[in-house]
């Protein structure tokens, strides 16, 4: 097992070994050969220790007064965690089975022997146990965990022994007590050295010259044990008891010199030799009465263990206290000088050497160096302090070799050392900076008084009883009250009860630690003023509020400006409320700061509810999504105008919006923008009406040539973007000229109207029908599922026109010729190209005999006709 597997890695310290000051951490779960090696070593140690314990059973063949395997199991759990449980269970089962215990009882006993130490280990981790065992608390925790965990092992073992018939009813209680005691002693005897063992503790205890001496002491303990309990060196009775007592002294020395590891190893070696010798019938505990001898052996071992552990704990705390005192002495911010009765220096800390300009590496107790021999004549001044009563500070000035002076406060203390000599200790506290700070503070307070008296503001300081502690000269200038006259007076007595009732809530809030403020009107000596008073809590060193500061500034110009602004806003509101448009001002945060009455009418809410809301909250998410890009442009400093439309249940509305950015005085920062929203619904509707009139045929009500060209362009774009098939049909009336010449233009107009109506009824409602001019008609059919649909549509039209038209009681027979072009979104073709191709197909139909249609694609010749 390598030393790297142990937990603590602290550097070695002289004297008592201290491994670590941190509690046990959760053990790492290793795997592979290392884990198997650990499990094998732990099982072997458990087995051998159990064989040794069973050599000296106290009750029957199973219960021993000293059971070392418990300590081994506890240490294994603490070091390597619960993964060691199967190993402990197996080792305990084997040892119980080999001594004649039935397998089922051996397994039950082994389960308790594995569980008890595991519970103790878990409790130690919860208690923050430190494996170094350098604190009495850790020793107490270890004893408590062992005592509780062994309750499980003892109770479980005795139950199984009783069930197996190894214990009678009268033996159960003594066996339980013996089992519990043996496990507890074994946990102390075998567990402590294994728990405390680490690379740092081994190096501290046994490295170097000091470690070799500790090894010699450890060997001497082993020699005493062998001399006392070995059959080859059985000592005379007169030497037995000195040999038994000497290890106790040696273990105390080891505990003081090397710590708990060396002391517990010494106890373990001595106890092992004692147990082996007693089991072999050798030594003072191997008498005729076996039980009495074993009890004496147990008492001897327990005394050794407890004594060593207690000495280690007390020595560790003593050493820690000494080190703490030494650290405070070395790193104290005050100089410490120790003087003996003859006036010689016996100790100086680094700060004292620095103050007295002594060499840092000079031994503190240089022979012959008297207090009066210190450099720069400072010793004489310090010697005078020794004549002063102890505890009374005195201010001295120490001279420096560079000409500077050091102001120090000297305090004397007297005590007796270990030899009974009365020593004097001088504590030198450097107060140079504090005295300079006091002088600087006084000057600063004078400057502060001059500044506050010149400040154009009321400045005051109040305590928790609302009494004035400070007031500047402005009180005299503004209120005609001398600042000296208000000191110690309450606010109520200075300002009057009416003013006190007004300002009291804010002042009480300041005393609760809250920053508070208020505004009020005052009548000064020369004029009326509006003041803004800010209250700032004042806290003491502990952070508690012990008063507050009051700073009152004159805000009369601001209040007058606000009044003028309100009047200006009122005038602006009066004007904008009469405008037939929505006018508002929106801040940089997109919140309304001003709105006219048109907003109330538009949104059906009073303006005080709309002010402060964001644009999104007022106009809704949909309208805001359209306006947001323009708002961002306006807040970037750009003048923006745009049109927007909205359709609601109430109808269609259209607006013209203009955003004018408002800049700060620097001309760069945009503070917000003015929004002017004009309802242009009527104007837009009139524009649409005029556009519709310009694109419709007055005779038939169909689209004219301009409207047809626009719709054809839109249809081609849709076909190119979404795909599908469309058809463009050009129609011509066969025999229209004869009707027009024979019956007159009125009959021709009636025929055109009748043809337009019959054509519209032959098509779908979504199809586009137009009369480009004369007796020529055009149809656009979109989203055809197949070319055959165009054939069907054209055929239906031709068939519908064969029925005679009745014109003012006259029946007229005409037919139609149609050119049908199919378009599937081929790139590069325009509506004009499609119209030219349809026109060619129309003439092909006329050339074929009229009263028929001719079908073709946009780029191919005629493929079918009827």
Residues taking part in catalysis = 775
Q: What is the token pair recorded at 106? A: 């051996």
DSSP 750-771: HHHHHHHHHHHHTS-TTSEEEE
Measure the CA–CA gap between 606 and 454, rounded to whole angstroms.
Answer: 49
Which strands sit side by side in the sheet containing 640-648, from one edge to the other? 592-595, 582-587, 670-679, 651-663, 640-648
DSSP 349-412: -HHHHHHHT--TTS-TT-TT-BGGGSGGGHHHHHHHHTTSPTT--EEEEEE-TTS-EEEEEEEE
Burial label, 196 (beta-carbon count in 10 A; 0-12, 13-18, 19+): buried
* Per-residue buried b or exposed e for 563-575, using 16+ beta carbons within 10 Å of the residue's own CB: eeeeeeeeeebee
Q: Which DSSP symbol is given to 448?
A: H
- CB-CB contact of 363 with 345 (8 Å): no
Distances (CA, A) of 68 to 40, 184, 186, 187, 787: 17, 9, 4, 6, 102
Give the number of residues written for the chain: 866
Q: Cα Rg for the chain, rounded, in angstroms?
A: 55
Which residue matches tokens 């199973």? 62
- CB-CB contact of 186 with 298 (8 Å): no
Rounded to 5 degrees, what angle do the CA atoms 131, 137, 139 make?
55
Ramachandran class of 550: left when φ > 0, alpha when ψ lies in -120 to 50, beta otherwise: beta
Helical H runs in 259-289? Answer: 260-279
Measure the CA–CA gap between 616 and 600, rounded to whole angstroms.
Answer: 16
Measure the CA–CA gap between 216 and 9, rounded to whole angstroms.
Answer: 25
Neighbouring C-beta atoms of residue 139, cutoff 10 Å: 21
Measure the CA–CA gap between 490 and 159, rounded to whole angstroms.
Answer: 83
Least Cα distance to 85 among 62, 60, 108, 112 occurs for 112
Half-sphere exposure for 489 (CA within 13 Å, toward CB):
16
Q: What is the token pair recorded at 593? A: 């700061």
Chain-centre distance for alpha carbon 408 = 48
Q: Which residues pair with 647 in a beta bridge?
A: 652
Measure the CA–CA gap between 304 and 250, rounded to whole angstroms.
Answer: 11
């Amino acid at each position: 097992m390598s030393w790297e597997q142990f937990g603590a890695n602290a550097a070695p310290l002289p004297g008592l070994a201290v491994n670590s000051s941190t509690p046990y951490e959760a053990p790492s779960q290793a795997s592979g050969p290392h884990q198997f090696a650990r499990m094998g070593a732990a099982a072997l140690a458990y087995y051998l220790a159990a064989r040794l314990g069973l050599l000296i059973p106290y009750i029957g063949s199973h219960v021993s007064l000293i059971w070392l395997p418990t300590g081994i199991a506890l240490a294994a759990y603490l070091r390597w965690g619960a993964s060691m449980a199967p190993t402990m269970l197996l080792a305990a089962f084997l040892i119980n089975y080999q001594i004649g215990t039935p397998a089922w009882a051996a397994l039950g006993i082994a389960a308790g022997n594995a569980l008890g130490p595991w519970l103790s280990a878990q409790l130690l981790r919860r208690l923050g146990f430190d494996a170094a065992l350098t604190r009495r608390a850790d020793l107490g925790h270890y004893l408590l965990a062992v005592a509780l965990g062994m309750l499980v092992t003892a109770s479980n073992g005795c139950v199984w022994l009783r069930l197996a018939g190894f214990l009678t009813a009268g033996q159960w209680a003594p066996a339980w007590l013996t089992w519990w005691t043996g496990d507890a002693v074994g946990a102390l005897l075998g567990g402590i050295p294994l728990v405390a063992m680490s690379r740092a503790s081994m190096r501290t205890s046994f490295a170097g010259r000091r470690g070799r001496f500790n090894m010699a002491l450890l060997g001497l303990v082993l020699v005493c044990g062998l001399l006392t309990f070995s059959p080859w060196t059985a000592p005379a009775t007169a030497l037995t008891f000195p040999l038994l007592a000497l290890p106790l002294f040696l273990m105390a020395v080891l505990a003081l010199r090397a710590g708990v590891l060396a002391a517990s190893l010494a106890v373990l070696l001595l106890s092992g030799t004692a147990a082996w010798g007693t089991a072999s019938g050798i030594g003072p505990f191997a008498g005729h009465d076996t039980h009495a001898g074993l009890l004496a052996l147990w008492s001897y071992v327990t005394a050794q263990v407890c004594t060593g552990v207690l000495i280690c704990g007390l020595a560790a705390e003593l050493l820690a206290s000494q080190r703490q005192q030494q650290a405070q002495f070395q790193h104290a911010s005050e100089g410490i000088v120790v003087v003996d009765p003859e006036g010689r220096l016996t100790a100086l800390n680094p700060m004292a050497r620095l103050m007295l300009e002594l060499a840092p590496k000079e031994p503190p107790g240089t022979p012959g160096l008297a207090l009066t021999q210190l450099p720069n004549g400072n010793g004489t001044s310090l010697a005078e302090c020794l004549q002063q009563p102890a505890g009374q500070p005195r201010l001295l000035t120490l001279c420096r070799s560079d000409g500077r002076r050091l102001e120090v406060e000297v305090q004397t203390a007297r005590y007796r050392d270990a030899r009974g000599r009365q020593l004097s200790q001088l504590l030198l506290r450097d107060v140079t900076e504090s005295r300079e700070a006091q002088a600087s503070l006084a000057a600063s307070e004078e400057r502060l008084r001059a500044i506050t008296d010149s400040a154009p503001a009321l400045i005051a300081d109040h305590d928790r009883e609302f009494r004035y502690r400070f007031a500047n000269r402005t009180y005299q200038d503004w209120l005609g009250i001398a600042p000296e006259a208000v000191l110690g007076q309450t606010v109520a007595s200075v300002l009057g009860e009416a003013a006190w009732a007004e300002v009291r809530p804010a002042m009480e809030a300041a005393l609760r630690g809250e920053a508070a403020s208020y505004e009020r009107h005052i009548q000064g000596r020369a004029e009326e003023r509006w003041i803004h008073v800010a209250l700032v809590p004042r806290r003491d060193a502990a952070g508690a509020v012990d008063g507050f500061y009051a700073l009152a500034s004159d805000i009369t110009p601001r209040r007058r400006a606000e009044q003028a602004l309100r009047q200006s806003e009122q005038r602006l509101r009066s004007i904008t409320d009469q405008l037939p448009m929505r006018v508002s001002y929106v801040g940089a945060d997109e919140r309304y700061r001003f709105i006219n009455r048109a907003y109330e009418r538009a949104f059906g809410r009073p303006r005080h509810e709309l002010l402060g809301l964001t644009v999104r909250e007022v106009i809704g998410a949909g309208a805001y999504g359209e306006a947001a890009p323009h708002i961002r442009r306006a807040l970037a400093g750009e003048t923006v105008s745009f049109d927007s439309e909205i359709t609601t249940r109430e109808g269609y509305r259209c607006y013209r919006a203009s955003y004018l950015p408002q800049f700060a005085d620097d001309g760069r920062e945009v503070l917000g923008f003015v929004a002017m929203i004009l309802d242009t619904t009527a104007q837009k509707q009139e524009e649409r009406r005029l556009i519709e009139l310009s694109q419709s045929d007055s005779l038939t009500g169909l689209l004219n040539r301009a409207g047809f060209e626009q719709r054809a362009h839109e249809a081609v774009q849709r076909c190119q973007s979404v795909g599908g098939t469309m058809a463009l049909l050009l129609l011509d009336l066969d025999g229209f000229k004869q009707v027009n010449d024979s019956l007159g233009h009125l009959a021709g107009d009636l025929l055109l109207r009748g043809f337009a109506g019959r054509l519209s009824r032959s098509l779908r409602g979504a199809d586009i029908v137009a009369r480009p001019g004369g007796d020529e008609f055009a149809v656009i059919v979109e989203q055809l599922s197949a070319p055959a649909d165009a054939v069907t549509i054209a055929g239906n039209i031709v068939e519908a026109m064969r029925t005679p038209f009745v014109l003012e009681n006259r029946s007229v027979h005409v037919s139609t010729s149609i050119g049908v072009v199919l378009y599937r979104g081929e790139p590069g073709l325009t509506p004009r190209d499609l119209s030219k191709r349809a026109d060619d197909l129309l003439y092909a139909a006329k050339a074929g005999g009229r009263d028929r249609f001719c079908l073709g694609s946009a780029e191919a010749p005629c493929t079918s006709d009827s």
